[in-house]
Each structure stands twice: as structure tokens, then as C-alpha cells.
Amino acid sequence: MVVPANHVFLVGPISFVGEHCQENIILQLDGTVVAPTDPQVWGGEHWLHFDKLSRFTLQGSGTVDGRGSVWWRRSQSEDLNDDLLDVDNDADDGMDSEDADTQAMRFDHCLNVTFSGIKIQNSPNFHLTFDHCVGVLVRDMSISSPGDSPNTDGIHLGNSQDVTIHDATLACGDDCISIVSGCSNINIHDVHCGPGHGISIGSLGKDHSRACVHNITVRDVDLQGTMNGVRIKSWQGGSGSVYGVRFSNIRVSEV
């Protein structure tokens, strides 16, 4: 499937659902794909959703633009209301946004996915999520949204194994990469993060849940102008385990 260069396509929420699709489909994205700006049209769904695909490749030199600024303003005014009502919603945490369901690109239950070249920008919420995926390669790509855009995690991993992320330039308003429960065998290297909140394992154990994460390597990364460097964050009252974590050659500046 080809999205040709030098064209801009307005695309509503769409799902590419496999299981019975052939393997080895390549989506060559060289043009620009933009989201509707009216939150009503999104209907609270993910925007570009990929589910149950096997050996799927998304590649090209194109751009995916979530045009999220309308959402960010809404979310900021909700936070403001919460502040006025003194509600503790821990807006910094990034997990709250799991309910928000307004992620630009999301892969669920995929086996051996490759994502390369594409630039994703201005997502209303998380930019690129993998959940219940096994065998993920993300490389030579970038993510860009303003440092003050709320909950715009760059790449979010949950319940996924055998994931490699390298040569990625990530600028966003929350964690550049977040790794939550059920993840193992994750290898991240040669990533630039900033602005953003850093590279995080967690949050883990929210609402007394059990969370397990192991065998995570983060090496040769550059964090510049971020809120944090690399971290493991957990909630009080949760349980589980985190082991086999290696952070090496992490360069931080103005963090």
C-alpha cells in the first residue's frame, strides 16, 4: 500500500485489522497524513490503529500529523478545573492518559512489526504505542511535539516483548519512551530525547496492581533539556518486580 509523496491526505480514525490478512504487508508512507482537528470526529478512538498483524512494515519518508493542539488546550483546561477543585489527578504521570484513547498510532497484538523512517508529530496524546506485541523494530524515525503539550508520550510500550528502538529523535511533552507492565527484552539505543520527561520504566503498580518488567537495556542515549533523565517510577501499594535493567552511556544536559 502506497501513500505517495508530495500529497497531503486528511484521514479520519481508521483501523488496519489483521488476523486474516496476509503476512509481509508493506505500507509505504512517503506523503503526509493529517488528522481531523475536530475532537468530535475522532470520537475518542485511536487515530491510526493496527491490530493483529503479522510481519507488517510501515516505512517511508512521510509525516503523520495528529494536529493535536485543540486537544492539548482542552486537556489543559480540564487540569485547571481539577486544580481549582483540588483533585489529585497526577497529571504528570502519563498513565492517566491511558483512558484518554486519543493516540496517533497504535499497534495491538502484532507479531514482528517494523516501523521506520516516518515522522510523527503533534499527537493529541501518546504518539506511538505498542501493546501485546512481540518482535518490534522501530528505527530511523522521529517524533515531534511541543515540550508543553500534555501527555504526549513519544513511544509507549506495554505487554510487549523483543522490542528494539534505535536511531530515533524524540521531542514531546511527556516521556520520550515509557515502558510499562508486561514488557521484557527491550533494547533501546542511539536515541535523542528532548524536550520531554526522559526515558521511563513505569509508572508501575497503579491502583495496587501487579507489574513486572525485565531485561531492559537503554544505552547510548542523549537527553537534552528534559525534565528527567532515565528513571523507574512506581506507585505506592503496587507489587511485582523489575529486574535486568541496564542504563549505560546516558548523556544528560540541562535536565
Ligand X SMILES: *[C@@H]1O[C@H](CO)[C@@H](O)[C@H](O)[C@H]1NC(C)=O
- Which sequence positions are flagged as catalytic? 174, 197
Question: Cβ-closest residue to ligand X?
Answer: 187
215 binds ligand X (CB under 6 A): yes
Contact 89, 82 (CB under 8 A): yes
CA-CA distance, 71 to 228, in Å (whole number)? 25
- Would you say 54 or 151 has its CB closer to ligand X? 54
- Would you say 37 or 217 has its CB closer to ligand X? 217
> Measured on CA atoms in the order 79, 183, 191, 229, is the torsion positive or negative?
positive
- Burial of residue 38, with CB atoms counted within 10 A of its CB: 0-12 exposed, 13-18 middle, 19 or more buried: exposed
Question: Which residues, other chains included, contact 194 with Cβ-Cβ below 8 Å and sequence gap of 6+?
Answer: 170, 171, 176, 222, 223, 224, 225, 226
- Would you say 69 or 185 has its CB closer to ligand X? 185
- Among the listed residues 37, 185, 228, 234, the single contact to ligand X using CB under 6 A: 185
CA-CA distance, 157 to 82, in Å (whole number)? 28
- Among the listed residues 26, 51, 55, 250, the single contact to ligand X using CB under 6 A: 55
- Among the listed residues 217, 224, 228, 234, the single contact to ligand X using CB under 6 A: 217
Residue among 194, 131, 125 nearest 153 (CA): 125
Shortest distance, position 51 Cβ to ligand X, whole Å = 16
- For residues 119 to 158, the per-residue mask of contacts with ligand X, x marking binding by CB under 6 A and - elsewhere, is ----------------x-----------------------
CA-CA distance, 196 to 148, in Å (whole number)? 9
- Would you say 133 or 171 has its CB closer to ligand X? 133
- Would you say 18 or 173 has its CB closer to ligand X? 18
Shortest distance, position 31 Cβ to ligand X, whole Å = 28
- Residue 93, classed as helix, strand or coil, is helix
54 binds ligand X (CB under 6 A): yes
Positions touching ligand X (CB under 6 A) are 54-55, 111-112, 135, 185, 187, 215, 217
